[in-house]
Amino acid sequence: MTVTKTPLTLREEVHQLAENAFHLNLISGYGDGEYSDEYQIVYQGKPRHLPLEKARSFLSKLIQKSR
């Protein structure tokens, strides 16, 4: 049986990644985007509105690079 991620669990995962990136000083802000399928990340002083999948990928790569 294949388990698919629901938008809520994906949003929670993105939120956790954003919290980690924020505490590592990699981003300066984060939060829900204007639309339900977006997340806002403030990176290098500029707010970016990304689809949840792209936000997860962006944050994961950013955290990996910092290690």
Q: Is the pLDDT of residue 38 over 90?
A: yes
- pLDDT tens digits for 41-57? 999 999 999 999 999 99
**Token pair 């339900």 in the structure block, residue:** 36
Q: What's the CA gap between 17 and 58, in Å, rounded?
A: 10
Within a 10 A sphere around the Cβ of 56, how many other Cβ atoms?
A: 20
pLDDT at 19: 97
pTM for the predicted model, two decimal places? 0.85
What residues contact residue 53 under an 8 Å CB cut-off, 6+ apart? 10
Is-contact 27 15, C-beta < 8 A? no
Mean pLDDT of 21-43: 95
Domain extent listing, the chain:
7-62
Yes or no: domain 7-62 corresponds to CATH 3.10.450: yes
- pLDDT band, residue 1 (cuts 50/70/90): low
